[in-house]
Homo-oligomer: A and B are copies of this chain.
């Protein structure tokens, strides 16, 4: 018998009324004869409220206890959703992370799933019950409650689907699928029918918030098809699957972007590997994430090193670097805020070297200056002034014909 895994995010389960809508959908799926496993997040703003309570107590609350606290959020959802289903005559049973056998490493706030003992779940599915599992949480071998961090419920759903051998995993969310770009910024943005794991990963890492990269990676490694779709409408979502099963004429599949970017340049840094890596070590020690990195060798002795980061962390970064100025050996720091990162993503790019050139050409035609560039097999990222962002997005969406339907041939 086929198993369907359905995951509903916080907005989809925010009120008892919405739980009723979610139940409609689950019951419809169940009536098709499938076994159904459901993974849910905490209701609406519950997690934020719990975090705020902990914030009243401490600026850095105990991470172990934070996990104990946050895990209650999903536990409330599983109980209420099960009640709704049972009230409607549909046998259902709830499982917390530990009851569902989700074993994680002993790390708090961002634990990775190690194994899932599916014995209990399987026996419930077998007798026809709908199993409702709390996402985002697990338990260590020693019995300590852990949480999986951002995007944790997506990861739970994918991991459970993989462990149970589900054919696919449906992620119900407040958007209708994966778009060529963010519809709030790009009017012509179009929902994709399909996207490959790698493209989705790049989109996710580059700021498209639909799915957490960890969940996508997990699905990729497990060859598990994901479907992202709206929990508020019946329209078809976006299928995320192996590239090999898709044929498309397009090199570029989507357009991702991030705002609030600052570029920092260290001038007069000694031109040797230890000097450069010392800079990165100092930054990493403060848990500051840096992104696009460009090194420019000025002469045999000196080099300049540029990178970008979220503008919110600039002051912290400057503190770290200035404190260690002598030790690191650079001469001067310059920085420029008010920037954005715009990226094109598509697995067709690897075999189509003209794509990057086409991108720069399109931006240049509009007089948009590209300040930094970073490329990979399946994406090209550029740093531009934030004032140019909307124009750049529209131009690139047009250039790469993203608004037009693809001609996808499925096997």
Q: Which A residues are closer than 8 A to B by beta carbons?
A: 16, 19, 50, 53-54, 56-58, 61-62, 64-66, 68-69, 71-72, 75-76, 78-80, 82-84, 86-87, 93-94, 96, 98-99, 120, 143-145
Given contacts A54-B80, A69-B79, 16 further A-B contacts (CB under 8 A): A53-B80, A54-B83, A57-B80, A62-B83, A65-B79, A65-B82, A65-B83, A68-B75, A68-B96, A69-B83, A71-B75, A72-B72, A75-B75, A96-B145, A99-B144, A99-B145
Partner of A87, one of B16, B58, B94: B58
> How many copies of this chain are found per oligomer?
2
**Complex Cα spacing A322 to B364, Å:** 91
25 A-B interface contacts by CB (under 8 A): A16-B53, A53-B76, A54-B79, A54-B83, A57-B83, A57-B87, A58-B84, A58-B87, A62-B83, A62-B87, A64-B93, A64-B94, A65-B83, A65-B94, A66-B83, A68-B75, A68-B78, A69-B75, A69-B79, A69-B83, A71-B75, A72-B72, A72-B79, A75-B75, A96-B145
User: Which 7 pairs, one residue from A and one from B, show the smallest C-beta to C-beta distance?
Assistant: A69-B79, A72-B72, A68-B79, A58-B87, A65-B79, A65-B82, A62-B86
**Complex Cα spacing A70 to B87, Å:** 18
Q: Which residues of B contact A62 (CB under 8 A)?
A: 82-83, 86-87
Nearest neighbor of A94 in chain B, beta-carbon distance: B68
Q: Which residues of B contact A143 (CB under 8 A)?
A: 99, 120
Q: Which residues of B contact A57 (CB under 8 A)?
A: 16, 19, 80, 83-84, 87
